[in-house]
Structure 1
Amino acid sequence: MTEQRKNGPMTERTDLAKIGLTAELIGPLQFPNPIANSNHRQNLQEHSSKLKNHIAVVATNTHDLKETGFGSIETCRFFYDALKEKYQTVTFHEISSISSLNDIVTSRPDLVVLCSKYFLDVSNNTKTWFSDYFSKHAIAFTGSDRNCLEFDSNKGKAKTAIQNHGIATAKFFQACPGQFETEDKLPLFLPLFVKPIDAANGNGIDENSIVRDFESYQSKVKELFESYGADVLVEEVLPGREFTVAIFDDPETDSRSIMPVEIIVPKNEKGDRILGCAAKQQNHELLRTITEPTLSAVSELAGSAFTALGVKSFGRIDIKLDAEGNPNFLEANLVPGMTPDSSYFPRACSLQTGSKSKTNRPSAMTHSEVALKIVELGLNRINTLQQVG
């Protein structure tokens, strides 16, 4: 007998399972959010347009180190932010232990951006060179290898290599306290320029770096030896104009961009123009482009030094003119500072006046373009090695 409702026949109960509905779907009606969907589609499009490489940015706190690499952690994060705009996977690693490096190896990035040369374990005062570490684990990295980076860390070694290639550099010797008893025993005549052999960013260089008498020489050598724990570099004084040259090199495309600028430092109380730590921190020096014939002479020497030292991908070469106006090699900066408003490498890149449609002179580059170029060169080098292999 069919069951009846009081006001009419009972309708058959709907079986939700039969029509493919579940209890979770029973509730308030929800309509798609067109704005959210549009943003989602945009994010997908942006992600798909980025290159699929995994780039790991490796930095360490260099505040108390003689060599600071790209600069502060904040500066290294500028690189990270720039790379995120082009690559799908970019990771940032502030290294404070070997285990931090092991984590990077586990993730197997396509390329590691080395913002500094090494990690210093203060507990036992040992250095772990990033280039050695990642080479051991078959992971590609930006810039030069350990053998070449030694030319950055040891100015005397770099000058010796430059001399051996017939490239001009000021005469020099290395010294320690008490090595020469009297002025006439010095290998070179006074005045001389005295600086640390292994410090960067003008550390150890000040208004007393030019020594004009033997007492001043002894005092400065003793000061630097005690401060840095290493022999001191002593050079002939070069009285001419000073230049720094940013270089990008890409063997895969057989192209090299050489970007020199002049550095004009205010005179100190002694009337000398000395580019020391204090001068760099004050950031009062003027950088400007240069003209012929100095442009070609400085560019040629910088390129020759870059090649002679075996530098890979990028670096900065410092040059100064002698009394006759001839360019001389000063030093190589192979993990150069990258602070946007003060470091010479990005500033030199930004001051270039060439046109992108002309190949005779490089065009100006923004800080983000500098970061992207360094990674591009690192990836190109991987491609070259794979083709050779």
Structure 2
Amino acid sequence: MTEQRKNGPMTERTDLAKIGLTAELIGPLQSPNPIANNNHRQDLQEHSSKLKNHIAVIATNTHDLKETGFGSIETCRLFYDALKEKYQTVTFHEISSISSLNDIVTSRPDLVVLCSKYFLDVSNNTKTWFSDYFSKHAIAFTGSDRNCLEFDSNKGKAKTAIQNHGIATAKFFQACPDQFETEDKLPLFLPLFVKPIDAANGNGIDENSIVRDFESYQSKVKELFESYGADVLVEEVLPGREFTVAIFDDPETDSRSIMPVEIIVPKNEKGDRILGCAAKQQNHELLRTITEPTLSAVSELAGSAFTALGVKSFGRIDIKLDAEGIPNFLEANLVPGMTPDSSYFPRACSLQTGSKSKTNRPSAMTHSEVALKIVELGLNRINTLQQVG
């Protein structure tokens, strides 16, 4: 049965008016734009080819902090830019309050990229460790957990753990001002190397860090204690070559990439090669690949330290040779700097000379590949945990 219109056929204008529109508002019908359609199809294809994971990148202003993580907000945005090329949903969050973290929890990302270790609330001088926060909310994150990150924040704690595993590291002690009345009371013989126990990027290290007399020792300990508000680390001087080692570790595929490079710092006015804050800011140090037998010795110690400290996915181990040419552990950097042209982790990755067709040595990686690898390892850990569960 066909429904009849009581008032005859309605005009197009009447039909449009019935739904609240007019012909003038809509305008004349237009033919499809083939260029726009092609662009739209291309966008859809690119979007569909990307992985469907939701990745949240979080950063905080670390300019005035002792520990700077990946680096500036601009450096962290480079990670965000790289990830957008592979993943459908990538968000960037500059953390300035706890409420910013709550917003991330509400969105439930698959993985959070931690560009720094914690958020410091300057109003009450309290730290919120990102790894603790997201663990509490059952959200996966890149890198190591809080317990392991303590080895990055406390060099003395890291060296103690390394010693307990029988791994070589320079003899050391922790000190505060006026702890020792005379030179003969010092636990180690001069000269000694004095540095902050909890700072990064060479902060607190300068041409006066090697102390050769008791007066210099007292002065440097007092300076660092007053500047950083904590005991200082005092070590035997290691006179040999210095190295930094970038490491990627993937238990899911049982693979580990160990990428060492040598750091050569120009001598200062005292004739010492000291990798301090000024040297790093000037970016005059030379990084170069190393050869056997040093390559194997440095790589072995770096891998052993990485395992002993329980590092997850990625990190950087710093090493120096003693007077006999034996590698010694210096410190661990578990949220290492990622500035492309100056930070040691991406530079070490870029200098590797292996071939992708050969698995004995890692091949060179671009900064974008480093960012993607860190996220890949984080997602692989989720898969492993799900399989175990």
TM-score strictly above 0.5: yes
Residue of structure 2 equivalent to 1:388: 388
Q: Is the 8 A contact 1:3 1:9 kept in 2?
A: no
Could you tell me whether the CA contact under 8 Å between 1:71 and 1:337 is conserved in 2?
A: yes
The 1:151–1:12 alpha-carbon spacing in structure 2 relative to 1, beyond 3 Å, is closer
Post-superposition Cα deviations, 1:306-340, rounded to whole Å, max 9, x if no partner, equal 00000000000000000000000000000000000
Range that drifts further, 8-17 or 369-378: 8-17
How far off is 1:4 after superposition? 25
Deviation of the 1:33 alpha carbon: 1.2
Q: 1:187 to 1:107 in 2, by over 3 A?
A: same
Report if the CA contact (8 A) 1:70-1:115 is conserved: yes
* Residues matched between the structures, number: 389
**Cα contact 2:353–2:362 (8 A) shared by 1:** yes
| Partner of residue 355, structure 2 | 355
Deviations 1:251-283 (A, max 9, x none): 000000000000000000000000000000000
Q: Distance in 1 between matches of 2:336 and 2:110?
A: 23
CA displacement at 1:32 relative to structure 2: 1.2
User: Does the 8 Å contact 2:13/2:23 carry over to 1?
Assistant: no
Q: Which moved further from structure 2: 30-39 or 305-314? A: 30-39
Task: Name the SS of the counterpart of 2:375 in structure 1.
Answer: helix
Superposed displacement of residue 24, structure 1: 7.0
The offset of 1:19, in angstroms, is 16
Which runs of no fewer than 5 residues in structure 1 stay unpaired?
A: none
Q: Is the 8 A contact 1:195 1:234 kept in 2?
A: yes
Distance 1:361 1:49 in 2: 31
Q: What is the TM-score when the length of structure 2 is the normalising length?
A: 0.95
Which consecutive unaligned segments of at least 5 residues does structure 2 have?
A: none
SS class of match (1:14): helix
**Preserved CA contact (<8 Å) 1:242 1:319:** yes
CA-based RMSD of the aligned residues comes to: 4.3
1:323–1:16 CA distance, 2 compared to 1 (3 A): closer
Change (3 A) 1:20 1:303: same
State the SS of the aligned residue for 2:12: coil
- Distance in 2 separating the partners of 1:300 and 1:102: 42
The DSSP-based 3-state class of the residue aligned with 1:253 is coil
Deviation at 1:37, TM superposition (A): 0.9
Q: Which runs of 4+ in 1 moved over 3 A?
A: 1-27
Q: For the residues of structure 1 that align with 2:79 and 2:147, how far apart are their CA atoms?
A: 25
1:30–1:312 distance in 2 versus 1, CA, 3 Å = same
Give yes or no for contact 1:3–1:10 (8 Å, CA) kept in 2: no
Any idea what the Cα deviations from partners look like across 1:45-71, whole Å, max 9, x if unmatched?
Answer: 000000000000010000000000000
- How far off is 1:13 after superposition? 13
* 1:305 partnered with 2:305: yes
How far 1:7 sits from its partner (Å)? 26
Q: CA deviation at 1:28?
A: 2.7
Between stretches 25-34 and 73-82, larger displacement belongs to: 25-34
Checking the alignment, whether the CA contact within 8 Å between 2:143 and 2:378 is kept in structure 1 is yes
SS in 2 for 1:9: coil
* Counterparts in 2 of 1:299 and 1:3: CA distance versus 1, 3 Å: closer
Deviation of the 1:29 alpha carbon: 3.8
CA gap 1:375/1:18 in 2 versus in 1, 3 angstroms: closer
